[in-house]
Amino acid sequence: GDDAAAAAATPADAAGDGDRAAGPGAVPEVTNKFGMPSTAAAFHTLRHGTDDEKALMLAVTAAMRGDVDALEQMLDYKLAWDAPGPDGDTALTAAAAKGRTNIVEMLLKAGVVDVNARDARGATALMCAAGYWPGHASTVRALLAAGADADAQGASGQTAVMAAAAFGRDEVLRELIAAGADVNVPVALPVLQSVIAAGTELPRPGVVQTRKRTSQRLEDGVDAGKDGHELAVDALIHAAPKDAGEGEGGGGGDEAVEVRRTEEQVGGDKGFGVKQTTVRKRKKEAATIDQVARTLTPLMVAATFGHAAAVTQLAAAGAKVDAVDGDGATALMWAALSGQAEVVRALRQAGADMDARTNNGQTVLMAAAAFGHADVVRALIEAGADVNARDADGITALISAAAYEGSTDVVRALLDAGARPRMAVRHPDGEVVNALVAASKNRHGAVVRMLLEDAGVDVAGSPGLINFVKQVENKMADVATALTTAAEADGGADADVLQGLLAAGADPDVVGDRKLGMTPLLKAASGGATAAFAALVAAGADVGARDKSGRDALGWATHNGEAAMVAALLAAGADPNAADLGGRRALSRAATKGHDDIATMLLDAGADVNARDQWGWTPLMRAAELGHASTARLLLENGADAGARGGVGNTALMEAAREGAADVVEVLLGGGGGGGGFGDVNAAFDSADADRDGSLSRSEFRSWAQEKAALMAAANDDRERLVSENKRLRATISSSSEELLRRFAALEEENRDLKAKLERTSVELSRSQAETASAYKRWQDESRGWAEERARLADKVASQSAALQMAAAASTSAVAL
């Protein structure tokens, strides 16, 4: 419609001040060719000045499409050629991104654009030409010839060299290097976004993660229609600055990416925790740019994407091959993580350190092994990498390979190169993990089989081991469970599993029964599995290991009456006096169960016969309570204290009487069990009587009567002694009474004397009081006389004084006369 309107316009309408004529013959028709508004329509828009934004969009579109005719006719119009259009591109960056060298040269020659102008996202035309597929070397040359800044940086530090390196633009790199571009300028955080968008999810070097690489893309600013390289270059060239706000570029809209460290448990409860860095999106207002991440160099990025030729070029141009990022990872680490074997070889040729470590001590070989990159592992081994090196947590390359990807090719390469499968690392909860344990926990059955065979174990000839490997693959078992089960069974196919796993270096102290905290040796001791016990001890199992209640193997074997196991444990150095959390020892358990043979072994080994548990009970009290007369006799013969009292004052005799254990009562009384005297026997009698409620059967009553008769007999035996003692006490009391009477009479006499003396003192005191009263009365009378005399004298003095005054006055009058 616009074209028809323009064609129908009169010459006067079609021309403006300074405008180029736009008649029907002067306007090339481009609608059919490009499927976009024609130049005539653009002129119509410009002439009427209706929409500057639309006009700029048309100019940018023409530059991107390579419409030379349209641009030639638009150059004279007053457009802001360096201003970004609605999509963020300028005419020059749009042409450069598409490799339209002729358009770029035309715009530059016309002088309407600045060669270093930036689009809305901070990218220059040189950055765009350097990175976009397939890389436009001629466009780059034209821009450099026009004075483009080869080291200009985008919003997050990206340069043209970085873009070319990331996507292997070898010819472009040569042009930039020839122009003197800096090959060591680092890039900021958004490069991680580009890596993910390109289809390769990379962890931060220095850590190991279990996830396989994924091509899942971040949604912010990613066009699903583009291939991986286009997506990545979008992020590299148009990365947003860290303070970008609403409406600014960055491809992230209102979201940004953040690198943060997280501690994760690998595979749930299958493996041991490893540090892992994840990339996640969150609202821009909460996002922060990690300054440590501003250390990814062009060489690292080229290595990540597997561009061996670019790596060689950059190294030859002076790129620092052993430069590190914030985690201490080099370009070699990034290549290893991405599985780029050719790049690894190229970096080796460039002099890269094959054993370089990250900040946490991880080597390149460990990272490659964890991700299952067998080609990289072999290349590193060929270069002399240390296959048995450990990181800061003690993890080796073989453990990493077994725990994560579980690549048999990697494991085979490491074993052939001399990796030691028995090297282990201790988990924070105390569990010792080696390659075999790590593989079984993470269900890598093929690796388990390989490690067993490498240790010389005949897996094919052992039905038990074959079944174990299948269980691992089906997530039904692991080394800890298998060892514990085999130790408990002590025979058959399980014995093969036990011997095979121990031969392959499995930790004999691994906790298989996590509910009770049982190790294989505890299970073997509990069940009397002497063959399994011997195998575990030979493998270095701790005979003093304890479960969650603090019970050791000796306690378990004693409790279950496993005499042969007790003997084996004592021979292996088990402590006969070890106590559980309740203070109970093996001898107490033997006494409780009446295991005389075990009690004898424990006593011979130095067990304390009078040791108490937390309730104050001794082994003798336990034996008496449960009616074990022979055990009680054995303990008494070995020095047990029959008179000892428990936490509530009970003795062994009281407990036996309470439970009706007549045989034990006889043993205790015969062996000095009545050490508490008649009172102890009487207390025992009360204990026996207290539990009777009158509802006994005939047999129960007869039994009770017999027990009571035994106690009465014991009381009668002491009766004569008691009577004699009573007579002695009476004589003592009588003698004492006579002495007391004599002393009382003497006291009475003394009391009478004191009373007489007191009466005499009272009479004398009364007489003295009367004399004092009389003297006081006399003093009062004399005082009144003295007062009267004093008054008379005062009157007399006053009279004489008046006479003298009169005489003096007369004398004065006479003198005056």
Tokens of 84: 């970004």
**Burial group, residue 619, by CB count within 10 angstroms (0-12, 13-18, 19+):** buried
pLDDT for 312: 94
Residue 599: half-sphere exposure toward Cβ, Cα within 13 Å: 27
693-746 residue pLDDT tens = 444 444 554 465 556 656 655 665 566 666 677 777 777 777 777 777 788 788
For the chain, give the mean pLDDT: 75
Residue 362: half-sphere exposure toward Cβ, Cα within 13 Å: 30
Query: How many angstroms separate the CA atoms of 311 and 168, rounded?
Result: 9
Q: Which residue has the higher pLDDT, 139 or 77?
A: 139
Contact criterion met (CB below 8 Å) for 55 and 20: no
Tokens of 147: 């004075």
Query: How many angstroms separate the CA atoms of 697 and 687, rounded?
Result: 20
Q: Is the pLDDT of residue 528 over 80?
A: yes
Cβ atoms within 10 Å of 149's Cβ, excluding its own: 16
Query: How many angstroms separate the CA atoms of 297 and 331, rounded?
Result: 8
Predicted confidence band at 352 (pLDDT cuts at 50, 70, 90)?
very high
Cβ atoms within 10 Å of 645's Cβ, excluding its own: 16
Tell me the β-bridge partners of 426: 432
Distances 66 to 101, 135, 513, 611 between C-alpha atoms, Å: 9, 17, 73, 99
Query: How many angstroms separate the CA atoms of 13 and 6, rounded?
Result: 9
Query: How many angstroms separate the CA atoms of 521 and 15, rounded?
Result: 101
CA-based nearest residue to 302, from 132, 169, 130: 169
Q: Is the pLDDT of residue 306 over 80?
A: yes
Q: Is the pLDDT of residue 9 over 90?
A: no
Contact criterion met (CB below 8 Å) for 339 and 376: yes
Q: Is the pLDDT of residue 7 over 50?
A: no
Write down the H helix ranges in 617-718.
619-625, 629-637, 652-658, 662-670, 678-690, 698-717
Contact criterion met (CB below 8 Å) for 203 and 337: yes
pLDDT for 133: 56
CA-based nearest residue to 62, from 37, 86, 84, 44: 37
Q: Which of 36-40, 511-515, 626-630, 789-793 has the lowest mean pLDDT?
A: 36-40
Predicted confidence band at 8 (pLDDT cuts at 50, 70, 90)?
very low
Query: How many angstroms separate the CA atoms of 354 and 356, rounded?
Result: 6
Residue 549: half-sphere exposure toward Cβ, Cα within 13 Å: 13
Prior bond of 134 cis (ω within 30°): yes
What would the 3-class secondary structure string for 358-422 be? CCCCCEHHHHHHHCCCHHHHHHHHHCCCCCCCECCCCCEHHHHHHHCCCCHHHHHHHHHCCCCCC
Contact criterion met (CB below 8 Å) for 190 and 240: yes
Tell me the β-bridge partners of 433: 425
Q: Is the pLDDT of residue 304 over 50?
A: yes
pLDDT for 720: 60
Kindly report the backbone phi and psi dihedral angles of residue 533, in degrees, each rounded to the nearest multiple of 5, phi listed first: -60, -45
Q: Is the pLDDT of residue 640 over 90?
A: yes
Contact criterion met (CB below 8 Å) for 62 and 81: no
Contact criterion met (CB below 8 Å) for 132 and 230: yes
33-68 residue pLDDT tens = 334 445 545 555 554 544 567 777 888 888 888 888
- b vs e for 660-681, b when ≥16 Cβ sit within 10 Å of the residue's Cβ? bbbebbbbbbebebbbbeeebb
Tell me the β-bridge partners of 579: 585
Predicted confidence band at 281 (pLDDT cuts at 50, 70, 90)?
very low
CA angle centred on 162, ends 160 and 164, rounded to 5°: 70
Tokens of 77: 């119009």
Cβ atoms within 10 Å of 10's Cβ, excluding its own: 8
Amino acid (one-letter) located at 561: G
Domain ranges in the chain are 1-120
Query: How many angstroms separate the CA atoms of 442 and 272, rounded?
Result: 10
- Highest mean pLDDT: which of 314-328, 526-540, 595-609, 663-677? 595-609
Q: Which of 101-105, 283-287, 665-669 has the lowest mean pLDDT?
A: 283-287
Query: How many angstroms separate the CA atoms of 685 and 689, rounded?
Result: 6
pLDDT for 68: 86
Kindly report the backbone phi and psi dihedral angles of residue 280, in degrees, each rounded to the nearest multiple of 5, phi listed first: -140, 160
Q: Is the pLDDT of residue 172 over 50?
A: yes
pLDDT for 302: 92
Q: In which element (H, E) is residue 13 found?
A: helix 11-14
Contact criterion met (CB below 8 Å) for 376 and 338: no
Helices H / strands E in the chain, number of each: 40, 4
Q: Which of 262-271, 387-396, 506-515, 588-597 has the lowest mean pLDDT?
A: 262-271
How large is the angle between the packed helices 463-473 and 492-503, nearest 10 degrees? Answer: 70
Contact criterion met (CB below 8 Å) for 385 and 348: no
Query: How many angstroms separate the CA atoms of 427 and 393, rounded?
Result: 9
Query: How many angstroms separate the CA atoms of 649 and 641, rounded?
Result: 14
Instruction: Decide: helix, strand or coil at residue 113.
Output: coil
Q: List, in order, residues 6 or more apart from 671 with CB less than 8 Å away.
A: 633, 636, 637, 642
Q: Which residue has the higher pLDDT, 48 or 670?
A: 670
594-632 residue pLDDT tens = 999 999 999 999 999 999 999 999 999 999 999 999 999
3-state DSSP helix/strand/coil % of the chain, to nearest 5: 55, 5, 40
Q: Is the pLDDT of residue 210 over 50?
A: no
pTM: 0.59
Q: Is the pLDDT of residue 200 over 70?
A: no
113-132 residue pLDDT tens = 999 999 888 889 999 888 76
Q: Is the pLDDT of residue 143 over 60?
A: yes
> Per-residue pLDDT averaged across 367-396, rounded?
94
Query: How many angstroms separate the CA atoms of 119 and 124, rounded?
Result: 7
The position carrying tokens 């002729």 is 102
461-485 residue pLDDT tens = 677 778 888 877 777 777 877 888 7
Instruction: Decide: helix, strand or coil at residue 324.
Output: coil
Q: Which residue has the higher pLDDT, 17 or 637?
A: 637
Query: How many angstroms separate the CA atoms of 245 and 669, rounded?
Result: 95
Cβ atoms within 10 Å of 540's Cβ, excluding its own: 10
Question: DSSP strand E in 175-254: where?
Answer: none
What would the 3-class secondary structure string for 711-756 be? HHHHHHHCHHHHHHHHHHHHHHHHHHHHHHHHHHHHHHHHHHHHHH
pLDDT for 583: 93
pLDDT for 627: 93
Tokens of 12: 């006067």
Contact criterion met (CB below 8 Å) for 379 and 410: no
Percent of the chain beyond pLDDT 70? 73
Tokens of 462: 């052992």
Instruction: Decide: helix, strand or coil at residue 47.
Output: helix
Q: Is the pLDDT of residue 88 over 90?
A: no
> Per-residue pLDDT averaged across 435-454, rounded?
86
Predicted confidence band at 308 (pLDDT cuts at 50, 70, 90)?
very high
Q: List, in order, residues 6 or more apart from 196 with CB less than 8 Å away.
A: 202, 216, 217, 218, 279
- CATH numeric code, 1-120: 1.25.40
Give the distance, in angstroms, between the CA of residue 511 and the centroid of all CA atoms in the same chain. 20
Tokens of 316: 């030859």
Tokens of 603: 């006593």
Instruction: Decide: helix, strand or coil at residue 277.
Output: strand
